[in-house]
Amino acid sequence: QKEFGDFSTNAALALAGRVGTSPREVAEAIRVHLPADDLVERVEVAGQGFLNFFVRADWLRDVLRDAVARGPRYGWAEPNDRTVQVEFVSANPTGPLHVGHARNAALGDALARLLEAAGW
């Protein structure tokens, strides 16, 4: 729901017992200590101590423009001159293949793709 912001957290409710004060007081203390930035327009304390974050519309618009401009490589890091080797699906030649080998192939491929996107 729009009145709850773009993001919300119940962190103050979780922390209240540890600091010995009400969740709403903890939420307010968190809110006043948050630094100003280009992403968040405002932060509101709601209910028993929820923090609702409202993202600046111009920031979101800029991110969407950047995503469209970069296309499928949006979010990818620039490649660096270092390399990493990911070895996976090394089947045991003396034993039968099993479903674990397929799982390891999927995990290894996913890890290799993540590393590539991170610039490796």
Residue 64: inside a domain, yes or no? no
Is the Cβ–Cβ distance between 48 and 38 less than 8 Å? no
Side-chain-side CA neighbours of residue 41 (13 Å): 10
Boundary (domain end) residue, out of 11, 31, 58: 58
Q: Are residues 113 and 80 part of one domain? A: yes
Residue 66: inside a domain, yes or no? no
pLDDT tens, residue order, the chain (120 aa): 888 999 999 999 999 999 999 999 999 999 999 998 889 999 999 999 999 999 999 999 999 999 999 999 899 898 888 889 998 877 777 778 778 778 888 999 999 999 999 998
- In this prediction, residue 88 carries a pLDDT of 82
Q: Are residues 9 and 54 part of one domain? A: yes
Q: Which domain holds residue 38?
A: 2-58
Number of structural domains, the chain? 2
Q: Are residues 18 and 48 part of one domain? A: yes
- Say which amino acid occupies 15: L
Whole-angstrom distance, CA of residue 120 vs CA of residue 117: 7
Q: Are residues 50 and 6 part of one domain? A: yes
Q: Are residues 14 and 49 part of one domain? A: yes
Q: Are residues 90 and 43 part of one domain? A: no
Q: Are residues 82 and 45 part of one domain? A: no
- In this prediction, residue 98 carries a pLDDT of 79
Q: Are residues 83 and 48 part of one domain? A: no
Mention every residue, 6+ apart, whose C-beta is less than 8 A from residue 75. Answer: 67, 117
- In this prediction, residue 102 carries a pLDDT of 82
- In this prediction, residue 93 carries a pLDDT of 76
Q: Are residues 8 and 52 part of one domain? A: yes
- In this prediction, residue 18 carries a pLDDT of 94
**What φ, ψ does residue 42 adopt, rounded to 5°?**
-160, 160
